[in-house]
Structure 1
């Protein structure tokens, strides 16, 4: 989940403190609508899709837009909502906070009644602030930093899990499936990566696992061998890297070159096929913790087929969560029998069992998905292959 410049490129889940956002949202507030005022006045119902469409994350952003288009096409083919067609309004936020403010304001000015999207949390937070001021619901498909739904605002929802769920999941996998005694955790010093690392380290320690190394690298470097030499000398059973795939691919490659033989793992920012290009054969056997990919979901086979047929390639990791974000938003508009954003927000809060492609979707009082899931995948022959999941009874089971 990379950004166009060093700050934004690695900030898919980077979150700024709310007070620091005041200068960023000032112009959005100045031109914003009062809560609940925005209405769809034309022949269509406009749903905004803010994502990176420029910079090094443009492919991820386009993948999300593609998922939104498939959802809108299906809804419109079935007659639309409230007698109107869904009109998507994509907007480039470049995974950059300042650009995101401008993108959010453009969407407000365009008359969107709801927003479904988000990739980098560094962009999603200022967007959320602007949409909150305008009373517009924001359904996130990929921005996973906990703070987004810890603001106490009622207009934010999420079709994917949170990083403070992924950390304990990863720790449990290392402890109870890999039977690791010693673990090294490396982050890239961004808020997302450090947050995932800290949650993982805390969970590992609580389970009696020796965390022999927990420190940061500087993203964008061409050589991490000094860090990896130090880590390798500590003989960890597992190295878990919580940053992004650009550095993740290089690190696993260099770790293998230095003779590290044990398990190398990555967080969900490593679930991009570009990892294989960077790491080469060294990626083989790398394990990733992630939300379930579309190709692993029995309920998503049709989606994968439609996506592949339409776009000539398989879906990326988050387009299916965007597909459901658009779908659940349309469901809320239909339930509300209104395009008034306040009514849509209220309807979203009442949804408990939307039958999404990624499974049943309902939201807890904070707006988080109430039944979020994480799994592990393993790299085999330059593909992400389903590996292990945690059953309802707490047992690790092989995925098919």
Structure 2
């Protein structure tokens, strides 16, 4: 009997040692934001592949469960519940603040770590969850960067703000407005659109009548591309400034030449990091360019994996504690997190689109 029990225990131990760790990749793979959702998927899968090639995490290989939330909050919650039933230990996602916030509640209840490379609304980490992190910054960190540029270049001129009524878009426009107003620059117009619209003619006519010199757009690249094109077609020459989701080639695809000169706030290009070069080479060897948020997703997996090794556990709260206590080398540089799960440093800068590419610009 003892021999049988010992054999059974050994078989169980061997099975457990070779079990695969499930992590999730959650974001829109269909719909208007699919291009960025694809970046999250690629970054997560490449990080898992590289970790597996090096022996995995805690001696176990990783498998990635990929789910499409279509950028819809209710579907994001359904995806979160699905990942919970699959036994996911951590999730890279979701993309938008409006999907990340409700999904994070599911992960919190299930003890699953969520690390978003893209969702910037302060409410996400201000909620008090111990299991939510992000490798990007916050709206109230990038808004002031945009506001400073507006103040320096359009003091005494006519500035308008437009937002798309999403958690992300409104939050970003509000943060920019607050910082701009605090420096003495008041807007002549603050208004909203409905995301997904394709006819902005009424608003464009209003902007033309207001003789606007500069416009700040709080919203996603899919709407921004169409909006700026219609502005230029109507003869509105106002400077166009927006947030970090414009860091997608799809913006230029939608805007075309009307996107020339459009500006955005975005983190410093992670592809310039020395730590990213080997990772970038692996992407390019597969014919993939790690655009925009790809490396931010990759870094999310790196930080989690290193924290799990430090904690010697896959338990969500234990790994989260380790993440807050350490500083982790990643493809986007060294990352450390505060009590809320936000990065302890941010590196937002201004970029300008020109001839189908965006590049950082010098600031005063």
TM-score > 0.5 by shorter chain: yes
> Cα gap change, 1:250/1:180 in structure 2, threshold over 3 Å: closer, same or farther?
farther
Residue of structure 2 equivalent to 1:165: 141
Instruction: Write the distance in 2 (CA, Å) between the matches of 1:43 and 1:170.
Output: 48
Written as runs of structure 1 = structure 2, the 5 A alignment for 1:250-399 is 250-297=226-273, 299-310=275-286, 312-351=287-326, 353-388=327-362, 396=363
More displaced 10-residue stretch of structure 1: 42-51 or 174-183: 174-183
**TM-score, normalised on structure 2?**
0.89
Instruction: Write the distance in 1 (CA, Å) between the matches of 2:350 and 2:275.
Output: 18
Residue of structure 1 equivalent to 2:5: none
1:205-236 alpha-carbon deviations (Å, 9 max, x no partner):
11111311111123333332331222233333
Equivalent of 1:110, from 86, 103, 114?
A: 86
Residue of structure 1 equivalent to 2:54: 78
- Alignment of 1:51 with 2:27, yes or no, is yes
Structure 2 unaligned regions, length at least 5: 1-15
1:127-164 alpha-carbon deviations (Å, 9 max, x no partner):
21111111221112111111110111111111111112
> Cα gap change, 1:317/1:264 in structure 2, threshold over 3 Å: closer, same or farther?
same
RMSD in angstroms over aligned alpha carbons? 2.1
> Cα gap change, 1:58/1:222 in structure 2, threshold over 3 Å: closer, same or farther?
closer
Instruction: Write the distance in 2 (CA, Å) between the matches of 1:293 and 1:91.
Output: 27
Task: Report how far residue 237 of structure 1 moved.
Answer: 2.9
Equivalent of 1:66, from 18, 42, 62?
A: 42
> Cα gap change, 1:295/1:380 in structure 2, threshold over 3 Å: closer, same or farther?
farther
Instruction: Write the distance in 2 (CA, Å) between the matches of 1:275 and 1:200.
Output: 21
Task: Report how far residue 257 of structure 1 moved.
Answer: 2.4
The alignment partner of 2:91 has SS state of strand
Instruction: Write the distance in 2 (CA, Å) between the matches of 1:266 and 1:296.
Output: 23
Tell whether the 8 Å contact from 1:184 to 1:213 is kept in structure 2 after alignment.
yes
Task: Report how far residue 57 of structure 1 moved.
Answer: 2.9
Instruction: Write the distance in 1 (CA, Å) between the matches of 2:354 and 2:273.
Output: 18
1:296-346 alpha-carbon deviations (Å, 9 max, x no partner):
545434433322222x23223211111000000001110011122222122
Residue of structure 1 equivalent to 2:13: none
Aligned residues: 349
More displaced 10-residue stretch of structure 1: 91-100 or 239-248: 91-100
> Cα gap change, 1:333/1:86 in structure 2, threshold over 3 Å: closer, same or farther?
same
The alignment partner of 1:152 has SS state of coil
